[in-house]
Structure formats: C-alpha cells, structure tokens
Amino acid sequence: MASPRKRGRPTLFVIGGAEDRVGKATVLRRFVRLAGGRRARIVLVPTASSFPDEVTASYTDVFTRLGAPAPSVVDPQDRAEAHDEELVALVDAATGVFMSGGSQLKLSQRFPGTPLGDAIHRAHARGAVVGGTSAGASIMSQFMISMGDEGITPRQRHSQLSAGLGLVEGVIIDQHFAQRSRYGRLMSMVAASPSLLGIGIDEDTAVELVDGRTFTVHGSGAVFVLDCRTAQSDAPDARRGAPLMVSGAVVHSLPAGATFDLAEVKLVEFVEKHPDAAVALATAKA
C-alpha cells in the first residue's frame, strides 16, 4: 500500500505587489519552490485584474521559467460561477494557489462564502501554499482595506474595510506600502480596531506565514507591523477627515531575513540579507 502524501504546514505567501518577474524573481522563485517546483500544480486566479489574459500570460511565463508546469486558470466571472464544480476541482488538486493583483473588491465579491472560497480554505488547511500579490494579498485576511486615501497621516473615516477570505485572523494586510504611502490608512484602521495588527508590505517583498502565527520576510523591501493594543487614540470622537491622534503605537520594520511571531507580537530572529556593500565584498574575497 502506498504511503499517504505528507501533509505540509498551512502556509500563506503574501506579496506586496510589483514583484520582479523578469530578473532573478526571488520572491516568485520562493513561491514556486513552496508549491513543489517541477512537481507543482499551481492554480492561477487572475480575477482581480482588468486584463486577465495578459496577467495569465505573464505569470505562466515566469512560473514555467522558474521550473513549474504551466498553471491552471480559475477565473469566475461572477458569484454564480464560483460554484462551478470543475473550477473547485482544480483548486482541490492544487499544490499552490496564486491570486493576482487588481481590485480586491472583485475578489471579495466572488470568493468569500462560495465553494471556490471554501476550496481555497481546504487547500490552505492541507498544506498547499496560498499566495497572492497586491489585491491577492489583501483578500487573505478576515478584514481587508477595500478603499482609502493614501498619505502618512492617519485620518478619521477615510478608509473602508470589507470582508476577506479569513485565511489569517487578527490582522489587516495592506500592500504597495511604502511606494504608495499607505502608512496613514493602515494606522487609522488599526487605531480604530486595536485588537487587530496591521501588516504593511512593500513592493517586491513577501511574508511567508506558517500556521497562521510565524512569518519570515523575503524580497527587496520591508514589512511593517503596526500594534495599537496599548495605544491611546481619539478615533471614537474625531470628526470625519480629521487627523487622528494615536499615541503609544508600536511599529516593527522588518526587512528580508526577519522572522516575527504574530501571537507574541515580537521578533523571533533576524539574519542580515542586505549587508553593507563593503562588508559583502570583503566576505566574498575571504
């Protein structure tokens, strides 16, 4: 009798958008490896994009270049099609699911609470890696920022939360974080709901989250964790559009090589991945 396939640990691979697809593709290379490399069965979900054919061609090119077979495509056009048994079967057979960028509202309309959304939950539970970039990153949390103003200053009621897939609880994920100046909108959301942690992910940067608890950072940017559990805020009283008072928030800035525990809300380990150029040159010559 053949032995059962070894179950992997539930893993999310959450990318802040604009990841490198033409060079070393460090972030996507890691996703392909987690999905099984040459034996991967990747399902690509281009639903968030306004140009799904172009997105499909782009990711098919990079995934195959990195050694994986061509992905299957799951792209429901409406909530009714998210009940399609053939599409559900593709997700149930996948070793990796990858959701592209675009509009997270398209994803929230078609996946949470549907058979396809349930299939993504099953894939995650059995150890298939579930990845997403930009909008595909935001949809992974229980609550996601579906729209909001950008800028450094947090302001009252300038952002909106919508339901996500709930693959990870207790956090709000935001993407394109530094590049689109989204610190303010994420801080405003977390200040108003201090039981939640905010996770802001830069472009070409990813969080590899295992068991819903511990994550490691990959890529060229950084990940910010915003913690307002002991902060003071005037969120209950501030008028619409007013700058929020937030005092005592804790901010963690985590580049590649950092490992962070979401349950304990603390750094576990840091291995320098971006050494000073002179140090790197000296090490190479040694």
User: Which residues does the annotation mark as catalytic?
Assistant: 134, 176, 203
The 10 Å Cβ neighbour count of residue 154 is 27
Cα 40 vs. chain centroid, distance in angstroms?
Answer: 20
The 10 Å Cβ neighbour count of residue 259 is 16
Contact 207, 199 (CB under 8 A): yes
- Please state, in angstroms and rounded to a whole number, the distance separating the CA atoms of residues 205 and 27: 7
Interacting residues of 231 by C-beta distance below 8 A, sequence separation 6+:
191, 194, 246, 247, 248, 249, 250
User: Sign of the CA dihedral 150, 160, 186, 143?
Assistant: negative
- The SS3 call for residue 218 is strand
Q: What's the maximum distance between 2 C-alpha atoms anywhere in the chain? A: 67
Contact 167, 141 (CB under 8 A): yes
- Residue-wise over 202-217: b if at least 16 C-beta within 10 A, else e? bbbbbbbbeebebbbb
Q: How far is CA 108 from CA 59, 92, 167, 180, in A?
A: 22, 20, 13, 22
- Please state, in angstroms and rounded to a whole number, the distance separating the CA atoms of residues 192 and 22: 40
